[in-house]
């Protein structure tokens, strides 16, 4: 499985395209401007990839700004955890609050994901971890064979997700990090929702929030 990172929108959010054979999954499409849409589309077309799904780690506005573009462009569905539905349903108001006047309303997911679900991706598997605390329905995606975790806004290089937004809770977040993430193999690469890629060993050693 391969992974390509893009950093989009005023929040510098990381959008990931994971691909295997000629199929791809788009995780947290954050493209907001036409230029950003073209960058994403250009990568997919240049590599002759066929998008099959949109996955959202959670429904905060910076992670869903490109949902409509991607869903309509390739006629694919959105998958996320149902506990983040209130956030998604409130997204237009949130966009207005941040002055994101070009926000294109995200379609609603037809399917929900939860702990224990597995997405079979051309023979490779993505495990779903339920990791609330930053948002009530936050999930992470784990590919064991490539040793990759896509962590959304749960953990960052030397930091953790904020817990002061609606539905956030610090104790819940720390419990998610301890029970779902730090127990993964030390060499696991963590592809975060913002900032640089990191790994389990470095976060155990250097992350000031985990000492």
Q: How many residues bind Zn ion (CB under 5 A)?
A: 4
Helix-then-strand count for the chain, H and E: 7, 14
Using CB under 5 A, pick the residue from 25, 27, 31, 62 that binds Zn ion.
62
Angle between helices 34-46 and 67-74 (to 10 degrees): 40
Name the nearest CA neighbour of 152 among 87, 53, 60: 60
Task: Considering the complex, state which of residue 36 and residue 62 has its C-beta at the smaller distance from Zn ion.
Answer: 62
CA distance 51 to 48: 10
Provide the token pair at 11. Answer: 């929040």
Using CB under 5 A, pick the residue from 53, 60, 104, 180 that binds Zn ion.
60
What is the distance, to the nearest Å, from the Cα of residue 113 to the centroid of all Cα atoms in its chain? Answer: 13
Burial of 85 (0-12, 13-18, 19+ CB in 10 A): middle
Q: Nearest approach, Cβ of 135 to Zn ion (angstroms)?
A: 6
Binding mask 97-136 for Zn ion (x = CB under 5 A): ----------------------------------------
Taking contact as CB under 5 A, which single stretch among the options 78-86, 99-107, 153-161, 174-182 is the one that binds Zn ion? Answer: 153-161
Is residue 36 near Zn ion by the rule CB under 5 A? no
For residue 68, CA distances in Å to 29, 136, 197 come to: 9, 22, 27
Using CB under 5 A, pick the residue from 150, 153, 160, 168 that binds Zn ion.
153
Using CB under 5 A, pick the residue from 25, 193, 199, 207 that binds Zn ion.
193
Is residue 81 near Zn ion by the rule CB under 5 A? no
Task: Considering the complex, state which of residue 94 and residue 199 has its C-beta at the smaller distance from Zn ion.
Answer: 94
Task: Considering the complex, state which of residue 33 and residue 163 has its C-beta at the smaller distance from Zn ion.
Answer: 163
CA distance 157 to 206: 9
Beta pairing partners, 127: 118, 142
What Rg do the C-alpha atoms of the chain give, in angstroms? 16
Residues engaged in binding Zn ion (CB under 5 A): 60, 62, 153, 193
């Amino acid at each position: 499985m391969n992974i390509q990172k893009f950093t989009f929108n005023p929040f510098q959010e990381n959008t990931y395209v994971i691909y295997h054979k000629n199929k791809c999954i788009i995780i947290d499409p954050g493209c907001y401007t036409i230029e950003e849409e073209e960058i994403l589309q250009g990568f997919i077309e240049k590599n002759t990839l066929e998008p099959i799904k949109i996955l959202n780690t959670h429904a905060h506005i910076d992670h869903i700004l490109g949902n409509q573009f991607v869903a309509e462009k390739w006629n694919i569905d959105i998958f996320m955890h149902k506990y983040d539905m209130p956030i998604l349903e409130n997204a237009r108001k949130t966009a207005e609050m941040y002055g994101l006047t070009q926000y294109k309303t995200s379609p609603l997911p037809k399917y929900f994901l939860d702990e224990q679900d597995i997405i079979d991706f051309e023979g490779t598997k993505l495990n779903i971890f339920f990791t609330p605390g930053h948002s009530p329905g936050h999930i992470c995606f784990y590919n064991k064979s490539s040793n990759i975790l896509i962590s959304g806004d749960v953990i960052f290089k030397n930091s953790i997700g904020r817990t002061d937004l609606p539905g956030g809770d610090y104790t819940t977040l720390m419990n998610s990090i301890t029970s779902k993430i730090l127990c993964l193999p030390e060499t696991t690469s963590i592809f975060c929702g913002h900032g640089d890629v990191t790994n389990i060993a470095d976060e155990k050693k250097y992350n000031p929030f985990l000492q």
